[in-house]
Structure 1
Amino acid sequence: MLKRKAYAELLNWKRQRREEQLKKCLLIKGARQVGKSFIVREFGEKEYESFISIDFFKQKQLKQIFDGELSSEEIFKRMTANIPGIKLIPGNTLVFLDEIQCCGNARTALKFLAEEMRYDVIASGSLLGLSYGQDDDDEVEEPASLPVGYETQLVMYSLDFEEFLWAYGYDSDVINELKEYMGSDVQIPESIHNKFEELFREFIVVGGMPEVVMDFAINKDFNRVMDIQNNIIALYQDDITKHAKGKEKQLVRMCYDAIPRQLAKELKKFQYSTVEKGQTSRKFGGSVKWLKDSCLVNACYNISEPYIPLMANEKPEQFKLYINDTGLLTCMYGFETKRAILNNTIKGNAKGGIYENIISECLIKRGYNLHYYKPDDEHELEFLIEKDGEVVPIEVKAGNTASVSLNNFIKEYSPDKAYKLIANRNGVSGAKIILPHYYVLFI
């Protein structure tokens, strides 16, 4: 059983329902295969006396529960009439509405179900980040109205590096012992560093998709990893074919398939010409938006100046796209790339792109929005984040080369701290904190 941080978010939502009389359902969003349904089932079975699950894709006949009057009283009455043997226990029942995009009335009804304090309701579904105008699937139903103000939204991702380590049997105390070296002149012992560098390279290759991590934790077979990841990529590609509208089907697929090629270039900024020679945002802009809204990619925007709020300084036409799970990215590159990463022999621009992708993924999972800073043609900082009321620069080096861009940034803007992530041990140089890549889990 995989331990997930999202479980604590579910517990907190339940506590708020009880202690603060929070009149909101929980809506869980995220890409396919990241473990949304699994964690809700685990939560419902462990934390409630009664757990009722409705999958509107598999149990289409149960959509009739939400036909007619949408008061909570009528809905729960029809629920007992259509699902034999269920128990509605006041204060101890969780109702899970899965694949809710297939039942528009159920999404509308969340407003009324949220106000019913006797029972808790969690909803989830596929591609909920898409607006209904972006989705061409006949199974997707547009709700009469969205339950604005009656949903607590939680975005789930694949496992982060700490969760990956938990799956390997490392507990939080062991992991947190690494923190004492953060920002310290005392170097991490070489044996510990080498072990965690090896684990981080495995994380790059295996990724965080729950099915992949669970299988690898048991079988330790990278060929099985590749097979499962290929199946997930095929599922994502099928989703594009099924859900993207009209001509966007082909264009979205072309954009998605082009991202590994773009990340393997020296210039990582997304260029439409990488998708198709001579093309611009006029043809592919909608396709990029579809990929971002579907949570299949993470976007990182260039900024005009490094001041809070960073989003106000975005250059919307200049961005990078990263695959949502780096294990899937390395799968797209092929088995030999995985082998080179594991053996630490990979070279070239693709190496830099892979390390940017994994750091971007880890930062997103830490709750940060992604920005980068390229003040001129010669300098670039891979990431800027907002932390503790300040802009914090992060330079990512696949190896351990000089940090000209970061040094220039420190000289010009005098940040309280700046991070340089490298393939070596830690150190400190003024405001510059030098850390191994895997220390991103503490940033």
Structure 2
Amino acid sequence: MYYRRKIDDYLKSWKADSNHKPLIVKGARQIGKTESILHFARDNYENVVYLNFALEKKFMQILADGYDVESVIRNISLADPSKKFIPGKTILLFDEIQENPDIATTLKSFKIDGKYDVICSGSMLGINYRKIHSNSVGAKTDYEMYSMDFEEFLWAKGYSQEQIDSILTHMLENRPFNENELSVFKKLFLDYCVLGGMPDVIRLYIETGTFSGTLDVQEQIRLDYEEDVRKYAEGLDQAKIISVYRSIPAQLAKENKKFQFNKIAKNARSREYNGCIEWLKDAGVITECSCLQYPELPLKGNVEESKYKLYYPDTGLLVSALDEEAQDDLRINKNLGVYKGALYENFVAEAFLKQGLGLFYYKKENSSLEEDFFVRTQNNLIPVEVKSNTDRSKSLASLIQNKAYHDITFGIKLGDFNVGYANAVYTFPYFCAFKMKEYLKQNDFRDADEEIS
């Protein structure tokens, strides 16, 4: 069964644009790129030509005579005479192009020729672009894809768009959920936290109605990621890259979640790990949250490059990396234990990343003042606190009340709450994080107290 994805609508809009360029879909391994692209191609084209460079080595020499369309098509037909090319009715799908990254150099020729639509896809593309002689700048469109977000998970579970959009309506109207709504969405959210958004994991969960076997799938994906390090990390210490990747769950469990190399190995220094974090980011298997120099606008250009937090872009993979006792608590008892704060914070980081929101935090030197995330509207900088308990949010209150932080007039708190507003702080349940970008866009926040009353 095919599960609806957000890329589906993007691909339809791409095809409908008469001036569309060849498309490159990037993203980590096993997030559903190939499945979604093939589903779209088969529904929208009379003729689909699919090449997988990882599985079909006979196509590795199709550039032997150059990058022009005629030569490429001729060599594809030589390798497989069953491939047909019908001008105006054919889409070419080049999959796993990290194995043959020079394919991207042909895209300018395909754009100029205009007879065939082209979509390329693959993992590790952030790394392998460096090997391309000329990656057709200006003649291609890039699309970043991730594992399924919470909305896509709800689609897969059978929830209607009207039911899902009701979450945003509650946020915009500052209207609390009733007990039934809150109970249902909280349970779905906890299930999603444990599962993450890898399509194979979601599919197994929905088909069986249980978590049985999902951990095995998640662990295999993490092993595959580590195998990619051994396969593609050239000129870097592969063991150190893997050690960085494996250390993230434990580092997030610390009260100070700033990533520290000396937590990987005693006396380790950042210079010894040059390139490791960048490699993992380019591969799409970790994401970075930058530390602001000062909580003010603009955000970009206002970061301390030596300070950052690291997250997994799929919380389910983070959960699968925890120790066995924590796994039992999570999957059987829904008790998040010492990792509660880390998991909720990782979920929010993942939700923000998948919406295209930047990831920023703030930690004041020699002070307890620290804020988990920041988002912005056109005129406001908004601190976002992720609470794993009901303690008072001292840092959030300080940022709002201190006149020195002139870009901040209110804040947002995500936790085990209902929708509410008090003391210039909007509160939302964790599961609302996936609607944050739409909420910020549709709420002008003027005269908040008067509107809410």
Give the TM-score of the pair, scaled to structure 2. Answer: 0.91
Deviations 1:188-236 (A, max 9, x none): 1011101111110100101100100011111123231101001101101
- Matched position secondary structure for 1:268: coil
| Equivalences for residues 334-413 of structure 1 within 5 A | 334-341=323-330, 343-348=333-338, 350-376=339-365, 377-412=367-402, 413=405
The reply to whether residue 269 of structure 1 matches residue 258 of structure 2 is yes
- Matched position secondary structure for 2:433: helix
Aligned to 2:135: 146
Question: For the residues of structure 2 that align with 1:131 and 1:82, how far apart are their CA atoms?
Answer: 25
Question: For the residues of structure 2 that align with 1:153 and 1:307, how far apart are their CA atoms?
Answer: 31
- Matched position secondary structure for 2:126: coil
Structure 2 CA distance for partners of 1:339 and 1:165, relative to 1, 3 Å: farther
Q: CA deviation at 1:8?
A: 1.2
Question: For the residues of structure 1 that align with 2:76 and 2:350, how far apart are their CA atoms?
Answer: 40
Q: 1:77 aligns with which of 59, 65, 74?
A: 74
Aligned to 1:127: 124
CA contact (8 A) 1:184 1:428 kept: no
Aligned to 1:97: 94
Q: 1:306 aligns with which of 295, 301, 317?
A: 295
| Equivalences for residues 198-277 of structure 1 within 5 A | 198-277=187-266
Question: For the residues of structure 2 that align with 1:37 and 1:248, how far apart are their CA atoms?
Answer: 30
CA contact (8 A) 1:426 1:436 kept: yes
Q: CA deviation at 1:51?
A: 0.7
Aligned to 2:4: 3
Residue identity matched to 1:408: S
Overall identity of the aligned pairs, in %: 34
Give the TM-score of the pair, scaled to structure 1. Answer: 0.93
For this pair of structures, how many residues does the alignment match?
430
Two-structure CA RMSD over aligned residues (Å):
1.8
| Equivalences for residues 38-117 of structure 1 within 5 A | 38-117=35-114
Residue identity matched to 1:40: I
Deviations 1:73-127 (A, max 9, x none): 3322333333223332222211001111222432211111122222100011120
- Matched position secondary structure for 1:129: helix
Question: For the residues of structure 1 that align with 2:379 and 2:15, how far apart are their CA atoms?
Answer: 30
- Matched position secondary structure for 1:66: coil
Question: For the residues of structure 1 that align with 2:140 and 2:111, how far apart are their CA atoms?
Answer: 8
Q: 2:165 aligns with which of 176, 184, 193?
A: 176
- Matched position secondary structure for 1:321: strand
Q: CA deviation at 1:285?
A: 3.1
Residue identity matched to 1:10: L
Deviations 1:143-188 (A, max 9, x none): 3222111120011100000001111111111111122221545321
Structure 2 CA distance for partners of 1:234 and 1:417, relative to 1, 3 Å: same
Question: For the residues of structure 2 that align with 1:365 and 1:247, how far apart are their CA atoms?
Answer: 29
Q: CA deviation at 1:263?
A: 0.7
Q: CA deviation at 1:403?
A: 1.2
Aligned to 1:415: 408
Question: For the residues of structure 2 that align with 1:368 and 1:270, how far apart are their CA atoms?
Answer: 21
Q: CA deviation at 1:246?
A: 4.4
Moved more, 288-297 or 330-339: 330-339
CA contact (8 A) 2:287 2:312 kept: yes
Aligned to 1:137: none
Residue identity matched to 2:273: F
Question: For the residues of structure 2 that align with 1:131 and 1:229, how far apart are their CA atoms?
Answer: 25
Structure 1 unaligned residues grouped into runs of 5+: 134-141
Question: For the residues of structure 2 that align with 1:128 and 1:322, how far apart are their CA atoms?
Answer: 20
Structure 2 CA distance for partners of 1:421 and 1:117, relative to 1, 3 Å: same
Question: For the residues of structure 1 that align with 2:327 and 2:39, how far apart are their CA atoms?
Answer: 32
Structure 2 CA distance for partners of 1:429 and 1:67, relative to 1, 3 Å: same
CA contact (8 A) 2:411 2:424 kept: yes
Structure 2 unaligned residues grouped into runs of 5+: 437-453
Question: For the residues of structure 2 that align with 1:207 and 1:387, how far apart are their CA atoms?
Answer: 28
Aligned to 2:433: 440
CA contact (8 A) 1:269 1:319 kept: yes
Residue identity matched to 2:413: K
CA contact (8 A) 1:183 1:427 kept: no
Question: For the residues of structure 2 that align with 1:8 and 1:389, how far apart are their CA atoms?
Answer: 30
- Matched position secondary structure for 2:274: helix
CA contact (8 A) 1:415 1:431 kept: no
